[in-house]
Amino acid sequence: MRCMKGSPLPGEVWTVDFGIAAKHRRVLVVSAPAADCRLAISSVVQLTSQSDGTPYEVTLPRVRWLPEQSYVNAQSVQPVKWTEFEQKCGRFDEGVVESARKAIALWLGIQPRAAAIH
């Protein structure tokens, strides 16, 4: 394990070992940058190459650093310790992060503030 000097940034895609059949998964960081490093965790959603067409899924733009069409599913939102982040793969823009956050809010039944709706 290695220690990170700072928090992973929103929109970054990293590999994380979840210990599931020794499978390393790509994740999208959706939490805001941490000013207080007391807990040293970030919230992420896992990437997958399969879509079930649910409203909790976001289709990701095609990028050269992902080998196939990928999606994030808001139902996979979870905290990850900074020491568990293994390798940075790339970064998506704020629009992708906002789409993922909206899907998470829908999954959790959280209504965004009126001022935040575009």
For residue 4, is it within any domain? no
CB neighbour list of residue 104: distance below 8 Å, 6 or more residues apart: 30, 45, 74, 77, 110
Beta-carbon count within 10 A of 27 CB: 26
Q: What is the pTM of this model?
A: 0.85
Range of the domain at 54: 12-111
Cα 80 to Cα 28, 41, 46, 86, distances in angstroms: 11, 5, 11, 11
Decide if 24 is inside a domain: yes
- Per the structure, how many domains does the chain have? 1
Do the domain assignments include residue 67? yes
Residue 72: CATH number of its domain: 2.30.30.110
Render pLDDT for 63-108 as a digit per residue (tens, 0 to 9): 999 999 999 999 999 999 988 999 999 999 999 999 999 999 999 9
What is the residue-averaged pLDDT of the chain? 87
Q: How confident is the model at residue 117 (pLDDT cuts 50, 70, 90)?
A: very low
Q: How far apart are CA 56 and CA 75, in angstroms?
A: 7
